[in-house]
Amino acid sequence: MGYASLMTPLTSLWPVLGLTLTTPRLVLRPITDDDIPAAVAAARSGIHPQGRNPFSMPWTELPDEELGPNMARWYWRCRGGFTAEDWTLLLGIWHDGEFIGCQDIGAKDFATLKTVSTGSWLRQSAQGQGLGKEMRAAVVLYAFDWLGGEVAESEAAVWNAASLGVSRALGYELNGVARKSWGGVMKEVQNVRVTPETFRRPDWTVKVEGHEAAAKFLGA
Write down all domains in the chain, each with its CATH number in brackets: 3-142+203-218 (3.40.630.30)
User: Which pTM does this prediction carry?
Assistant: 0.89
| Whole-number pLDDT of residue 29 | 96
Which residue from 42, 28, 67 is spatially nearest to 125, judged by alpha carbons? Answer: 42
| Whole-number pLDDT of residue 12 | 79
- CA 167 to each of CA 68, 143, 193: distance values in angstroms, whole numbers, following the listed order: 29, 15, 8
Which residue from 107, 104, 175 is spatially nearest to 147, judged by alpha carbons? Answer: 107
Helix boundaries (H) for the chain: 3-6, 10-13, 36-44, 64-80, 110-113, 131-141, 161-169, 211-215
Which amino acid is it at 58? P
**How far is it, in rounded angstroms, from Cα 123 to Cα 163?**
14
Spans in the chain with pLDDT lower than 50: 1-5
Three-point CA angle 38, 129, 59, nearest 5°: 40
C-alpha 219: how far from chain center = 17
**How far is it, in rounded angstroms, from Cα 196 to Cα 15?**
27
Which residue from 121, 104, 36 is spatially nearest to 70, judged by alpha carbons? Answer: 36
**How far is it, in rounded angstroms, from Cα 9 to Cα 144?**
29
| Whole-number pLDDT of residue 87 | 95
Q: In this structure, are residues 178 and 189 in contact, taking their beta carbons and an 8 Å threshold?
A: yes
| Whole-number pLDDT of residue 46 | 66
**How far is it, in rounded angstroms, from Cα 192 to Cα 3?**
51
| Whole-number pLDDT of residue 62 | 61
**How far is it, in rounded angstroms, from Cα 198 to Cα 167?**
11
As beta bridge partners, residue 190 has 156, 177
- CA 207 to each of CA 8, 32, 89, 188: distance values in angstroms, whole numbers, following the listed order: 27, 20, 18, 36
